[in-house]
Amino acid sequence: MKMECMVRWYLIHTKPTRELVAEVNLRRQGYQVYSPRLLRPTRVHGRWVDRAASLFPRYLFLRLAVGHQAMGPVRSTVGVANIVRFGYDYAVVPDAIIESLRMRADPETGLHHLNGCAPFEPGSNVRVVAGVFDGLEGVFQRESGDERVVLLLGLLGRDTIVQLPAAFVLPQSDSQGKLAAR
């Protein structure tokens, strides 16, 4: 009786900012890899430019022919931190999810596009529109990782630095009044 070859997608956890390194090294070893990317605004020399970045920072997908390809070399690949597991079992990603991701990518560039607002300028006035700080006004300080921002809010009579999801923050319009200089 011939053993049937089962091909599955697995989730790979990479070292910080090493998704591309892991992808290149896994491909060199003959593995099929999918690492969805998007254009993300990044500040370079005081200007905003779009740079390709991982859609899922520190993760990529690996397609493995079970019984024909070994998982062992993946763990020791440069750029790979670990293989995602649930208990003793490797995390298997359904083919439908990978296909859905591929279908959502731009057909020409292969990049994904997120619906997000333009980045704030440091020192700009903002208003929190969700969460525990809903309704408070503050001053944008900087971006903090993926989809998070750092604000300076006036809480209990003192200026306090808080970190919030970027989706919770909108620009404060001039017609609503300016914040006092801090």
Domains in the chain (CATH in brackets) are 6-112 (3.30.70.940), 125-176 (2.30.30.30)
Q: Nearest-CA neighbor of 35 among 21, 20, 48, 50?
A: 20
Q: What is the pLDDT of residue 23?
A: 97
For 74-126, what is each residue's pLDDT tens digit?
999 999 999 999 999 999 999 999 998 899 888 888 888 765 555 678 889 99
Q: Nearest-CA neighbor of 73 among 35, 36, 7, 28?
A: 28
Q: What is the pLDDT of residue 118?
A: 53
H helix and E strand count, the chain: 3, 15
8 Å CB contact between 127 and 176: yes
Classify residue 16 by burial, with Cβ atoms within 10 Å: 0-12, 13-18, 19+.
exposed
Query: Would you write out the chain's pLDDT as a tens digit for each of its 182 residues?
Result: 455 678 999 999 999 999 999 999 999 999 999 999 987 777 788 777 778 888 889 999 999 998 889 999 999 999 999 999 999 999 999 999 999 889 988 888 888 876 555 567 888 999 888 778 888 899 999 887 767 889 999 888 888 899 888 878 888 764 344 443 33
